Structure 1
């Protein structure tokens, strides 16, 4: 099973974007995408169709704000999507879009300094074209870099997140399919444990089934990163499980693995209700969580997890318009 054609297409797409300007990006996007390309972006971009709309919504404003943009990839994998019965092929990229933040972006004021927009992107390839894309980026982290962080202190620590500790996340060549199948099976077992966690006597017992004790949970801005099972429980799992209620699992759009890496995204994965206190907000109404989870497997357990959440959408549904408040800074 080879994914070389799909990987080559996405890499050429990325190479072309490095030469794009805000004036030419629509044409460049159209070169390798389908006419009805379905693009999913975080709030305030949401869903767009076709290169012109995607350029107008995200890429042209971004390139007007950021100069000398580099794509610094930490993960690049491909595989068949378990969610549709392994019929479609998707290519996943994760890393940072690095540039000089020289003009306002979404009301975020620039510093004229280096900035790194953390991203994860899923591209569905069909018939030699990119037909679907989901681009998740951490806009809250960009606000922090610009000195305009709008939320209360988070439970974990946020950093400019590194890639895999093993520095082997770029699968430009295809990996052994057996290793990908092993990773996907472990991810699915972990998901099963989350949904049936009541059968374990402690959170530590639950997590020890599929996670190394010293695993690293690279959470998004607003929650932050944690290290080791015990700190993960204290700094993310416990607040989430006690301050969130009425959790509804909506499913995933794509879930795949290649080699020791794998992951998924949903649109939206979860619908949850803030019971009061989560991320400093009062009790509220049901809200969607659009989430990406990417994983590194080490042996028979998971060692690292990178998470992206459309935080601005989640907060906006609860009445907090973060971008609208940017004018107050």
Structure 2
């Protein structure tokens, strides 16, 4: 229990220092709590980096230069143990928005000089008092929409500035009952198994029967820009699961880097989680035979014995790039 609390304290101090650091102090601020060889993963075009200097130059420097007067608007914060080989240990998870004034361009996304919310989720593995591994996933397509660039206007659901948990219970700064974490993780694992069973035998259960095993009737699915958010089992099936399964085939599950829970919250990320083929057309991209990867973070809130809310981050830019659609290059050609 104390290991989790110590890790939370370290990450909290890291965020406090990072969010208030001057631009010329970002590398030193990262170096104070990151290991010299910290393995950092981010969505395209940030991808994989090693060590504070590269992380500062590639991600935090450009983001902080673009968003002035930045505030971390955190909705979920928890920690837990992940037993997955190669990255087992204590992880701390933070999810919310980085809010600031969009005062300078970022990756070709034009500045608006208006309020902007960069939706993010970050996993940090803590070992011997240092952050040794990070996954920082953020929704750049949604930032583009806020700048007036709607690259995928026909998304099947609705993208908003995604809120936090309905009951505002997501900031788990104090120690939680381990039995609750075990219950949450067991339910997440059961849900993953139900998806695997559906892929192995699509006729065994209807989509509604599959969903009802683990999901609350009025579940909320907070999806990424390009797909959007949806509400209730029936609308989720109509607005996401159905289009996803009709458009994408030959799903291969590649496993997770970390999967953990604390209290009623849990989640996982992979690198990549899934490999699929766009056989039916997806997000307006014509069908093709390319095997493309999805790097995904999922965060869940359990309510009783069912999953009630799910926040999803998908590296759409990377998934589309593998199919020959370079969204950022399109921006920079204008």
Partner of 2:265: 261
The 8 Å contact of residues 200 and 206 in structure 1, kept in 2 or not, is answered as: no
**Distance (whole Å) between structure 1 residues aligned to residue 243 and residue 167 of structure 2:** 30
1:9 and 2:13 correspond? no
**Distance (whole Å) between structure 2 residues aligned to residue 86 and residue 104 of structure 1:** 35
Secondary structure class of the residue paired with 2:63: helix
Secondary structure class of the residue paired with 1:62: helix
1:227 and 2:231 correspond? yes
**Distance (whole Å) between structure 2 residues aligned to residue 317 and residue 21 of structure 1:** 36
TM-score, structure 2 as length reference: 0.96
**Distance (whole Å) between structure 1 residues aligned to residue 88 and residue 295 of structure 2:** 23
Secondary structure class of the residue paired with 2:53: helix
1:304 and 2:309 correspond? yes
Cα shift at 1:149: 1.9
**Distance (whole Å) between structure 2 residues aligned to residue 90 and residue 5 of structure 1:** 11
Unpaired segments ≥5 residues, structure 1: none
Partner of 1:181: 182
Partner of 2:297: 292
Q: Which runs of 4+ in 1 moved over 4 A?
A: none
Cα shift at 1:4: 1.1
Secondary structure class of the residue paired with 1:61: helix
Partner of 2:45: 44
Cα shift at 1:152: 3.7
**Distance (whole Å) between structure 2 residues aligned to residue 216 and residue 79 of structure 1:** 23
Q: Residues 212 and 110 (structure 1 numbering): CA distance in 2 closer, same or farther, change over 3 Å?
A: same
**Distance (whole Å) between structure 2 residues aligned to residue 53 and residue 328 of structure 1:** 27
**Distance (whole Å) between structure 2 residues aligned to residue 287 and residue 132 of structure 1:** 25
**Distance (whole Å) between structure 1 residues aligned to residue 239 and residue 333 of structure 2:** 30
The 8 Å contact of residues 69 and 100 in structure 2, kept in 1 or not, is answered as: yes
**Distance (whole Å) between structure 1 residues aligned to residue 126 and residue 87 of structure 2:** 13
Partner of 1:164: 165
1:111 and 2:146 correspond? no
TM-score, structure 1 as length reference: 0.98
**Distance (whole Å) between structure 1 residues aligned to residue 17 and residue 86 of structure 2:** 32
C-alpha deviations, 1:232-268, integer Å up to 9, x for none? 0011101111111111110000000000000100000
The 8 Å contact of residues 74 and 170 in structure 1, kept in 2 or not, is answered as: yes
Q: Residues 85 and 146 (structure 1 numbering): CA distance in 2 closer, same or farther, change over 3 Å?
A: closer
**Distance (whole Å) between structure 2 residues aligned to residue 194 and residue 82 of structure 1:** 21
Task: After superposing the two structures, state which structure 1 stretch, 274-283 or 80-89, moved more.
Answer: 80-89
C-alpha deviations, 1:308-327, integer Å up to 9, x for none? 00110001111010001113
1:96-135 matched pairs, under 5 angstroms: 96-135=97-136
The 8 Å contact of residues 22 and 61 in structure 1, kept in 2 or not, is answered as: no
Cα shift at 1:87: 4.4
**Distance (whole Å) between structure 1 residues aligned to residue 86 and residue 14 of structure 2:** 27
Cα shift at 1:95: 0.3
1:129-144 matched pairs, under 5 angstroms: 129-144=130-145
Secondary structure class of the residue paired with 2:318: helix
Q: How many residues align?
A: 329
Cα shift at 1:85: 9.5
Partner of 1:325: 330
Unpaired segments ≥5 residues, structure 2: none
The 8 Å contact of residues 88 and 258 in structure 2, kept in 1 or not, is answered as: no
**Distance (whole Å) between structure 2 residues aligned to residue 328 and residue 86 of structure 1:** 40
Cα shift at 1:199: 6.0
**Residue 318 of structure 2, aligned match among 291, 313, 320:** 313
